[in-house]
């Protein structure tokens, strides 16, 4: 694929529509049935894949609850899963992983005792919010009265699940908010391409996911968050935010976790000068999937951008630190790897070139954004991986002003200056 010269990104009705979640889900479903099938005693064999992105982390907690996982001799799939009676466990996660946490909670529905998951920092809480909504307030009170403790409690550090709640789960009509990790690419592109402005409507602003916005604000980006509301709240009340300093929800008069619906908002970013920042601590967890495109932003920011405590980037769909450093260096960026992050010196004019996505969808889209501010075309090899999470990405960026051509699904982006 080739990205060619286009115009500055301008607000358009179809930009917001591209991220409207209504078409995506909106149907009733019963996850309990699906989870039940997953834990029937059977040998399930999967297809070969590279065991990155939390797979290795899942083995130890799976052993803790009594589930037998056996990878192939080389540590790769196929995996053999042998079902058995599951036990409650008290498991401390070494890193704040929403995927591992969610797997433990869903397994805990079928355990013979409580499941407690302790995490070292904030991790995405979509599963907890969904389960809490599925049982409803009255069922939670009933379970609390009969069992002596609530069906589900959670905060930034600990989640406690009572397996009795499985008998009270009800199907829901769920509208999934727009994915902020996907929205990150047009938003950061708008911040970088002079004269640009992009609004993404109905994007999820769950506080466990909004590190991108906080970093852009810290970099001096012109970011507006309007119309905050809870998805499914009806009239649209201000979102309940699990962060110090945010007001309690006006719907229920209480703070997190009383509000179980997902907060959404309309996010607008306009082009503006950026400055380098330091990123570490809890912000890393809340920004983990957006670091590839934020690294591109850092190449155009004035000063030093330092990312630390992000070693998880090395076990994503690729070693994102090594792959990102290699690709951006090939385009002229001044970037150095660290064991747990990277350092970027900016601003640096990027030139064109051919770069490898390593089959990593987020890296491919980040390099596409780099192509929009580069002096010449950027050719991205193995760009077909973009469809893994954002099939409409290329069409959306074309609508915003980028010029894209394709050759066997490799992608070539050039600048979008008007």
Active site residue 167: no
Q: Which residue has the tokens 């996010």?
A: 267
The two three-digit tokens of residue 175, written as one number: 């509208």
Q: Which residue has the tokens 């591992």?
A: 100
Query: Please, are residues 398 and 406 in contact by the beta-carbon 8 Å criterion?
Result: no
Please state the φ and ψ torsions of residue 23, each to the nearest 5 degrees. -70, -20
The two three-digit tokens of residue 40, written as one number: 């029937």
User: What is the C-alpha to C-alpha distance for residues 187 and 177, in angstroms, rounded to an integer?
Assistant: 16
Task: Determine if the peptide bond prior to 277 is cis (ω within 30°).
Answer: no
* Active-site choice (125, 266, 289, 415): 289
The two three-digit tokens of residue 74, written as one number: 């080389």
Query: Please, are residues 371 and 327 in contact by the beta-carbon 8 Å criterion?
Result: no
Residue 309, sorted as left (phi over 0), alpha (psi -120 to 50) or beta, turns out to be left
Query: Measuring CA to CA, which residue among 116, 108, 107 is closest to residue 81?
Result: 107
The two three-digit tokens of residue 106, written as one number: 């869903």
CA-based end-to-end distance of the chain: 21
User: What is the C-alpha to C-alpha distance for residues 129 and 285, in angstroms, rounded to an integer?
Assistant: 18
Helix (H) or strand (E) holding 413: strand 410-413
| Residues recognised as catalytic | 289
């Amino acid at each position: 694929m080739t990205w060619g010269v286009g115009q500055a990104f301008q607000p358009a009705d179809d930009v917001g529509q591209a991220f409207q979640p209504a078409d995506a889900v909106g149907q009733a479903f019963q996850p309990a049935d699906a989870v039940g099938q997953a834990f029937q005693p059977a040998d399930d064999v999967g297809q070969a894949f590279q065991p990155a992105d939390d797979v290795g982390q899942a083995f130890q907690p799976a052993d803790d609850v009594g589930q037998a996982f056996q990878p192939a001799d080389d540590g790769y799939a196929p995996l053999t899963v042998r079902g058995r009676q599951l036990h409650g466990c008290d498991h401390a996660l070494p890193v704040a992983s929403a995927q591992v946490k969610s797997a433990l909670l869903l397994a805990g529905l079928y355990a013979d005792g409580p499941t407690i998951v302790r995490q070292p920092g904030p991790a995405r809480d979509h599963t907890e919010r969904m389960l809490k909504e599925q049982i409803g307030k009255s069922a939670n009170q009933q379970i609390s009265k009969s069992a002596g403790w609530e069906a589900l409690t959670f905060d930034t550090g600990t989640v406690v699940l009572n397996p009795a709640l499985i008998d009270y789960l009800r199907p829901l009509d769920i509208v999934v908010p727009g994915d902020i990790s996907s929205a990150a690419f047009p938003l950061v592109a708008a911040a970088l391409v002079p004269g640009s402005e992009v609004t993404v409507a109905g994007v999820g602003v769950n506080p466990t996911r909004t590190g991108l916005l906080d970093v852009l604000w810290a970099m001096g980006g012109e970011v507006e968050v309007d119309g905050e509301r809870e998805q499914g709240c009806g009239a649209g009340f201000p979102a309940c935010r699990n962060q110090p300093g945010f007001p309690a929800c006006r719907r229920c008069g209480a703070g997190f976790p009383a509000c179980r619906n997902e907060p959404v908002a309309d996010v607008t970013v306009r082009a503006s000068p950026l400055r380098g920042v330091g990123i570490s601590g809890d912000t890393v967890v809340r920004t983990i999937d957006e670091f590839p495109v934020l690294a591109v932003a850092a190449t155009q920011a004035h000063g030093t951008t330092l990312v630390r405590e992000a070693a998880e980037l090395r076990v994503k769909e690729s070693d994102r630190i090594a792959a990102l450093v290699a690709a951006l260096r090939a385009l002229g960026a001044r970037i150095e790897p660290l064991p747990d992050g990277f350092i970027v010196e900016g601003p640096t004019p990027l030139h064109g070139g051919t770069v490898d996505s390593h089959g990593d969808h987020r890296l491919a889209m980040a390099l596409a954004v780099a192509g929009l501010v580069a002096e010449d075309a950027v050719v991205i090899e193995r760009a077909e991986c973009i469809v893994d999470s954002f099939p409409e990405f290329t069409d959306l960026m074309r609508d915003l002003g980028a010029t894209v051509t394709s050759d066997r699904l490799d992608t070539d982006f050039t600048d979008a200056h008007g």
